[in-house]
Structure 1
Amino acid sequence: MEEYKSLKITSDSGGVYNLILNRPATLNALSPDFFVEFPKALSHLDENPNVSVIVLSGKGDHFCAGIDINSLKTISSSTAASDDRGRAAERLRRHVLFMQEAITSVEKCRKPVIASIHGACIGGGIDLITACDIRFSTDSAFFSVKEVDLAIVADLGTLQRLPFIVGYANAMELALTARRFSASEAKHLGLVSKVFASKSAMDQAVLAFAQGLAAKSPLAVTGTKAVLLKSRDMTLERALDYVATWNSGAVISDDLNEAILAHSQKRKPVFAKL
């Protein structure tokens, strides 16, 4: 398995793989290396037939403290390299799009990605988790859409994804104030699905949850993720037509036959890898 500077990949039983932010000394701040390595790692996991579910977590005491200062320096230097403001702006735009693509790779991954959050989840950490499919946290975790306090507009996906998760008004308030909010409030807002008393309790529960997903039809799981994400940007009529077209090509499968047979035989279905 490929080695990364900013990440670590481990595997658990039942098709569950862990993608770990692996810079604990910097509170897993998102470095220039991260933006190169993260989409590559997700692509490799997506293409691996042994991978059914991916759990995204952070090593050390915190999930993610936001973007690393070196990333900000890279952005700053890209604009300072030219006296031409137009060309400097174009370089900056390309760099931001490059970083956006790294975060969006979570949604482009066919497999479900579960965020397992403890400690700080700030700035770029919010960008990451809002791109994930499901989010869990410890009760001591805390969150902040921090960018406005750094005199910048959050530009890696939080402002686009958070309103779909917590509602427009809540997203506006959190983004404008940059205030810190608790795991309990995150649960109330719908940002996280469940809150656990300790990291060990969360790790056990997330693994069991992920293994449960991994045991389901991979065609149904990946299809459900794809349809939900696509439907977010469609009218109801177009979204219904899209899922009808999707199922017309995918519903008649060996997975469907196995699910029906297993139900009639009162056993757990066994599906082929994707």
Structure 2
Amino acid sequence: MNYETIFLTIENDIGYVKLNRPEKANALNQTAWHELKSIFEALDENDDVRVIMLSGEGKHFCSGIDLSLLLSVQNIAETCDARKREKLRKLILELQSPINAIENCSKPVIAAIHGGCIGAGVDIVSACDMRYATHEAYFSIKEIDMGMVADLGTLQRLPKLISEGMVREMAFTGRQVFGEEAEKIGLVNKSFESKDVLLEKVAAVAKTIAAKSPVSVRGTKHILNHSRDHSVADGLAYMATWNAAMLLSEDLHKAFQAQSEKRLPNFKS
């Protein structure tokens, strides 16, 4: 399936989403933001997809927001200062929504990162369930060098992934954190020596997840997100209610039967 700025294929229960503006280092223009949201909302509802792999075409994963879009923010046509700022707030919320769509997608999203992952690229991967990178990949909260505060989710999500001190160092300095250091601090699960190896290993992880019970995988993502944002007591109470409704599934029976017969289970979406 082809979009103007993103390439999408679906194969063997895996949705392969690839940012596709290599001539612009996969910088995200207005079209790309709309397509990113549309794709992840569609994949959320697509029964042919159980897990999603997100990567970038060309030399870089994503170099952030396209400068043309950033400059347009300064040209909001409104004479009233309050109305101008009201429109700016709405625009920022609109730019946050595609990244929220990644986090809210019921299917696990795995980011395969090579080259630069800058600014909005960090926002995007922070919303993914897992991140893998090449050694030469680098991450930069670049907004600080542009006289901005990162406003699309990095400062909210990254402290849930790595130490607060490291988040602050990255956010205050804008320095580049390369793949092996990213693995060391927990920003990525693992870094690999080349893009080819990265894509091969991430695809293998995606295939493993795609073979599991879709109901269990979707439920696990939902519960992990809920637990991240609530206390342990709240999370356990919610978990009890969730499994009271979801535990006695067809997939549970199929999993037990497959184990007793020493074979792999075959789940429907």
On whether the aligned pair clears a TM of 0.5, the verdict is yes
Q: In the alignment, what sits opposite 1:249? A: 245
Distance in 1 (alpha carbons) for counterparts of 2:73 and 2:67? 10
Distance in 1 (alpha carbons) for counterparts of 2:240 and 2:164? 29
Distance in 1 (alpha carbons) for counterparts of 2:44 and 2:177? 33
Quote the offset at 1:178 in angstroms.
Answer: 0.6
- 2:46 is equivalent to residue 41 of structure 1: no
Q: In the alignment, what sits opposite 2:16? A: 18
What is the CA deviation profile of residues 194-235 of structure 1, one whole-angstrom value per residue up to 9, with x for unaligned ones?
Answer: 111111111111111100000000011010101111111111
- 2:202 is equivalent to residue 203 of structure 1: no
1:15-94 aligned at under 5 Å gives the runs: 15-78=13-76, 81-94=77-90
Quote the offset at 1:176 in angstroms.
Answer: 0.7
1:67-216 aligned at under 5 Å gives the runs: 67-78=65-76, 81-216=77-212
Distance in 2 (alpha carbons) for counterparts of 1:181 and 1:211? 29
Distance in 2 (alpha carbons) for counterparts of 1:226 and 1:76? 38
Q: In the alignment, what sits opposite 1:258? A: 254
After TM superposition, the structure 1 stretch with the greater mean CA deviation from structure 2, 69-78 or 254-263, is: 69-78
Unaligned runs of 5+ in 2: none
Distance in 1 (alpha carbons) for counterparts of 2:58 and 2:142? 21
Distance in 2 (alpha carbons) for counterparts of 1:185 and 1:233? 27
Quote the offset at 1:85 in angstroms.
Answer: 1.3
Distance in 2 (alpha carbons) for counterparts of 1:76 and 1:58? 28
Distance in 1 (alpha carbons) for counterparts of 2:231 and 2:44? 29
TM-score, with normalisation over the residues of structure 2? Answer: 0.98
AA in 2 matched with 1:263? Q
SS in 1 for 2:161: helix
Distance in 1 (alpha carbons) for counterparts of 2:241 and 2:9? 36
AA in 1 matched with 2:10? S
Unaligned runs of 5+ in 1: none
Distance in 1 (alpha carbons) for counterparts of 2:184 and 2:98? 29
Distance in 2 (alpha carbons) for counterparts of 1:230 and 1:101? 19
SS in 2 for 1:56: strand
- 2:233 is equivalent to residue 237 of structure 1: yes
SS in 2 for 1:18: strand
AA in 1 matched with 2:110? I
SS in 2 for 1:272: coil
Distance in 2 (alpha carbons) for counterparts of 1:244 and 1:71? 46
Quote the offset at 1:66 in angstroms.
Answer: 0.9
SS in 2 for 1:166: coil
Distance in 2 (alpha carbons) for counterparts of 1:251 and 1:38? 33
Q: In the alignment, what sits opposite 1:270? A: 266
What is the CA deviation profile of residues 149-203 of structure 1, one whole-angstrom value per residue up to 9, with x for unaligned ones?
Answer: 0000000000000001012111111101111111111101101001111111111
Quote the offset at 1:103 in angstroms.
Answer: 0.7
Distance in 2 (alpha carbons) for counterparts of 1:142 and 1:160? 20
AA in 1 matched with 2:63? A
Distance in 2 (alpha carbons) for counterparts of 1:195 and 1:181? 12
Q: In the alignment, what sits opposite 1:9? A: 8
Structure 1 segments (4+ residues) deviating >2 Å: none
Quote the offset at 1:11 in angstroms.
Answer: 2.7
Distance in 2 (alpha carbons) for counterparts of 1:143 and 1:233? 25
Percent of aligned pairs with the same amino acid: 44
AA in 2 matched with 1:62? H
SS in 2 for 1:111: coil
In the comparison of the two structures, how many residue pairs are matched?
269
